[in-house]
Amino acid sequence: MLGSISVGSTVANPLRSRVSFASRAVHWLQSASAEVWAKFLLALFGLGLAFAAALFSTVSRDSGNLWATVILASISLVLATLVGLVTVPYLVRRVAVERLRETFDYDVTRAGIIYVLVTLVIGIAALNTGNNLLYIVVAAMLAAIIVSGYVSALILRYLELDVHLPEHVFAGRPVLGRIVLKNPRRSLPSFSVRVVSTRKKKKRAPHKWVWEPTTFAFPFNRPKEKQWIRIPNRRFRRVALIPPAPGIFSGMAYFPYIPQKGEATADLELRFDHRGRYREDGFGLATGFPFAFFTKTRHVSLQREILVYPRIEPTDEVFEILPLVRGEWESFVRGRGSDLYRIREYMPEDSARHVDWKSTAKSGSLKVREFAREDERKLCITFDNPQSGLISEVAYEKAVDLAASLAWHFSTQEAEASFLIPGRPRTRDLHEFLAWLAVVQPGVGKQSEASDQDDPLRELGQGGLDEYNIVVTARARGTVPTALWNSSYFVFVGEESKPV
């Protein structure tokens, strides 16, 4: 019984190894594209037939059979032509598509230029003198260039890049982004790798020619209702494309060594001077290893996008507005609560339990305590987006930063804060409001033509009589509804006037 078990085990091991090898082979074949392999095998078969026909045509020629030679040579030529027209272009396209995933750029360094010039000088000397030693030196120097290109490509190949960006970023404040570079290879480490931006700087915005619909009218200088002919038409016009979003970073992160089956991380300081949307469609892995003759850059398709909020730095305008706004707000919400607001004269409608006996004894008249109520501290911060051309670009950016600073400050207070911007629903999420301010642009058209739904001042009364409003606006004082003056604080911004 034991012998039978041992014999069975010795037979099962090679069978298991064969089955595992076959399963790996089948899995490898299934992972490859069946169409590509079919084209490749068909090309090999066609070239084999063409080669055999060419051999037999040579034999027929040596034997003196003219017709057989012509027929076999023609068959060989036709088969080679069919393979070249049907399968070779398809395979070339597939290889080109695969190679596009890992494209390389080459930049010659100063050391590389000097090295090439020295190699040319030694090569000319070798040709003039015929010295074999100089030929060997030139061959070694040329081989070093080839080895440098191959090793640098091998260092960059198969590296995996990942970029981690912070979620909330404010303009003018430095933040840290993390770059992770992984080396999945089992036996080969990578040396001296830099992560750079591949964004190319353009001197002017790109343009393109487009067909756009128009109307052919005659006579040209008459109104529409008095023109004789009006037919649809199209015209070819050159238009400027929307410039791409600015890049996330223009620096580089350096990795001196990435071990095999390991990873390396680097923290890169990022700073954005302006609010808005920043985007990177790809990054570059560059290296000059081993001889620094060339800098080879491998393009990595990795899309990253970040939204930069407006500045919330305390400015003179903010320091000037905050005490005024806070005083108006506290005056609006004074009432019952635990925070003492002020001590004032007693009135008939006041409760006796609010009498301050110490102040009454000192002054000789009845005094009561007045508190700031805590249960109805509702606040709405509104950015009344001005129309295009109403104020300068600098004043507009200051108004956006001011609205963001006020929202950030009062969100930390003990209040039920909400935020409003034209064209958006009212929100209580501070970061959602900051995200709107990050991409907001001046409106189009005249303020008087704005619809009631897009006018934020008409929505302020919907929060109730117990809600206080802080409005950043560029409107004239006379156009502000008088019903909002008692429950709102208006910050008027303009080109030459400070917020008041």
- The DSSP annotation for 396-465 comes to HHHHHHHHHHHHHHHHTSSSEEEEE-TTS--B--HHHHHHHHHH---B-S-GGG--TTT-GGGTGGGG-T
Give pLDDT, residue 184.
Answer: 93
Q: How far is CA 494 from the centre of its chain?
A: 33
CATH number of 316-333+376-492: 3.40.50
Taking phi first (over 0 means left), then psi (-120 to 50 degrees means alpha), and beta for anything else, what does residue 263 get? beta
- Distance between CA atoms of 50 and 296, rounded to whole angstroms? 41
Alpha-carbon distance 62 to 77, whole Å? Answer: 19
- Letter string b/e over residues 435-452, b meaning 16 or more CB atoms within 10 A of that residue's CB: bbbbebeebeeeeeebee
Structural domain 102-206+241-309, CATH architecture: Sandwich (2.60)
Q: Which two tokens stand for residue 127?
A: 């040709």
Are 78 and 49 a contacting pair, CB within 8 Å? no
Give dist(CA 96, CA 103) in Å, integer: 10
460: left (phi over 0), alpha (psi -120 to 50) or beta: alpha
Determine the pLDDT at residue 374.
47
The pLDDT value recorded for residue 16 is 42
pLDDT confidence of residue 469? 82
Distance, in Å, from the CA atom of 378 to the CA atom of 292, rounded to the nearest integer, reads 65
Evaluate the omega torsion of the peptide bond into residue 290 and state whether it is cis, within 30 degrees of 0.
yes
pLDDT of the residue at 2: 34
Per-residue pLDDT of the chain (500 residues; tens, 9 = 90+): 333 333 333 333 443 444 444 454 444 444 445 666 777 788 888 888 888 888 888 888 888 888 888 888 888 888 878 877 777 666 666 655 545 445 678 888 899 899 989 999 998 888 888 888 888 999 999 899 888 888 888 899 889 999 999 989 999 899 999 999 999 998 889 999 999 988 764 445 556 677 778 887 877 777 877 888 887 877 767 766 556 668 888 788 999 999 999 999 999 889 898 999 999 888 999 999 888 888 989 988 888 999 999 998 876 676 677 666 665 656 555 544 455 567 778 777 666 667 777 777 778 788 877 765 544 567 888 898 888 888 888 889 989 998 998 888 888 776 778 898 888 888 999 999 999 999 998 875 444 444 455 677 766 655 555 677 888 888 887 777 777 777 778 888 874 444 44
What CA–CA distance (Å, rounded) separates 57 from 73? Answer: 6
User: Where do we find the tokens 């001046």?
Assistant: 442
User: What is the reported pLDDT for 189?
Assistant: 93
**What is the predicted pLDDT for the residue at 28?**
44
Distance of alpha carbon 16 from the chain centroid: 50
Q: Are 475 and 455 in contact (CB under 8 A)?
A: no
pTM over 0.95: no
**Predicted local distance difference test score (pLDDT) of residue 275:** 93
Axis-axis angle for helices 34-63, 66-86 (nearest 10): 160
